[in-house]
Amino acid sequence: MSEILISEKQVQSVMTKSSLPVGGYSVNPYVGCTHACKYCYASFMKRFTGHTEPWGTFLDVKNWEPIKDPHKFDGQRIVIGSVTDGYNPQEEHYRRTRRLLEELQGAQAEILVTTKSDLVLRDLDVLSTFPKVTVSWSINTLDEQFKNDMDEAVSIERRLAAMKQVYDKGIRTVCFISPIFPGITDVWSIMERVREQCDLIWLENLNLRGQFKPVIMRYIAEKYPHLMPLYDEIYNKGKRNWWHRLEEDVQRFATEHEMPYLRNDLPYGRAEKGKPILVNYLYHEEIRLNNNK
């Protein structure tokens, strides 16, 4: 693991109105993320932060003015970790996500945590005080070697174990199969593995853009050369055929297993055990357009 450059940053507020499809507020207690995912879309943040270091090698720890009136966020959805992971390894020491949750206590808000970590288990005592809570883990493989090639977060097995603990505590859980690597991510094996311990399964495509596209394409050429024609078709020629076939297969899977299937929606509630709700986020541009209407 690379040496991490850590600094502290004063900000007026940590709460930002969200442009994400799920709406509400987007909250990122850190700038940067030390999970260093090779495909991380959030690396675009370097354009605004002044960092020249490689993505994954720096972390700005935010200090903010205390949230004085948590009821200001009543009825809102608050997404923790849209361009960072609020439970990166440094959170164990700096506890900024913990502080945020404590300051928000009393708000009648919906809390959505997105993470690749099991450190979220530490904060179940606070999370359980909110009326609506969802914890989502990104899991796009069951192959630990492929995971290690792609990120420096905790193992897939640790994520799955944390998911089960949170699910068993009665908190709504999500398996976020993201990003789906065509020809590599075994969507079916993941769904079979998690459907007894989550309420929703979200599906998101690998959307290659920006500086990480050549990194991923070189990786595929080196490790999975037989997939290069497929990746050329999808990521250089812009063809969607593979994604359309996947979507059809997922719909059939949902029907066969009596699992609700939605496209670009985020309902709240617990699902029947063994029948999580499948939600398709495969087409980012369409989702954004639909939510801006």
Structural domains for the chain: 5-291 (3.20.20)
pLDDT tens by residue, 182-211: 999 999 999 999 999 999 999 999 998 778
pLDDT reading at 236 higher than 60? yes
Q: Is the pLDDT of residue 284 over 90?
A: no
Query: What pLDDT shows up at residue 286?
Result: 52
What pLDDT, on the 0 to 100 scale, is given for residue 47? Answer: 65
Residue 153: how many CB atoms within 10 A of its CB?
25
Predicted pLDDT of residue 18: 80
Average pLDDT over residues 46-70: 86
pLDDT attached to residue 262: 85
Q: How far is CA 65 from CA 14, 68, 99, 127, 238, in A?
A: 8, 9, 12, 21, 45
pTM of the model: 0.91
